[in-house]
Amino acid sequence: MLPNFSFNQINGTPDNLQNYSGKVLLIVNVASKCGFTNQYSELEFLYQAHHSEGLEIMAFPCNQFGGQEPGSPEQIQSFCESNYSVTFPIFEKIEVNGSNTHPFYDFLKNAAPGLLGTTAIKWNFTKFLISKDGLQIKRYASATSPKEIMADIKEIL
């Protein structure tokens, strides 16, 4: 079972990880001006294809990598909807590294370290896949496309 973490949706509405209990979660730190931004299309494809089976995608904008997410919440929401028709939940900007790292990301990074056991997030669009029971957490690099994760998603749905 996952710990109880709180965060705000992009529109400022408070939310809690417990609201996603029993779902397969794909957590992604996102940015609007990144070379991987086109992954929004594949994320939306996965969401449409598997949301009814229990997949939830949670996007957390982050401006820590090259200032690639400078927008306001309204600008981020508008960008995602108008350019990629995103319907999965987007949350307020957070930090994923450093002294102001959101506690949820501290948990994820320690539960699923990266290459050679490093915990730091290296870039935008790093992905974490969490099983329904919260016991299995797997990390994927930014360059791993969402469609490449589909087999792992189907296996745990």
pLDDT at 122: 96
In a domain, 87, yes or no: yes
pLDDT at 116: 86
Q: CATH no. for residue 11?
A: 3.40.30.10
- Is 34 a residue of the active site? yes
CB atoms within 10 A of CB 99: 5
pLDDT at 68: 97
pLDDT at 26: 98
In a domain, 59, yes or no: yes
Check whether 146 has a pLDDT greater than 80: yes
Kindly indicate the confidence band of residue 155, based on its pLDDT and cuts at 50, 70 and 90: very high
Kindly indicate the confidence band of residue 64, based on its pLDDT and cuts at 50, 70 and 90: very high
Check whether 1 has a pLDDT greater than 90: no
End-to-end CA distance of the chain: 16
pTM over 0.85: yes
Check whether 3 has a pLDDT greater than 90: no
In a domain, 13, yes or no: yes
Catalytic residue among 25, 26, 34, 58: 34
Q: What is the pLDDT of residues 73-127, one digit of tens each?
A: 999 999 999 999 999 999 999 999 999 999 999 999 999 998 888 899 999 999 9
In a domain, 18, yes or no: yes
Query: Could you tell me which residues come within 8 angstroms of residue 112 by beta carbon, excluding any fewer than 6 positions away?
Result: 128, 137, 138, 139
In a domain, 1, yes or no: no
Structure tokens at 48: 């449409």
Q: Which domain holds residue 74?
A: 6-156
Residue 127 burial class via C-beta count within 10 angstroms: exposed 0-12, middle 13-18, buried 19 and up: buried
Tell me which residue of 93, 95, 103 sits closest to 72, measured CA to CA: 93
When divided into structural domains, the chain yields a total of: 1
Q: What is the pLDDT of residues 17-61, one digit of tens each?
A: 999 999 999 999 999 999 999 999 999 999 999 999 999 999 999
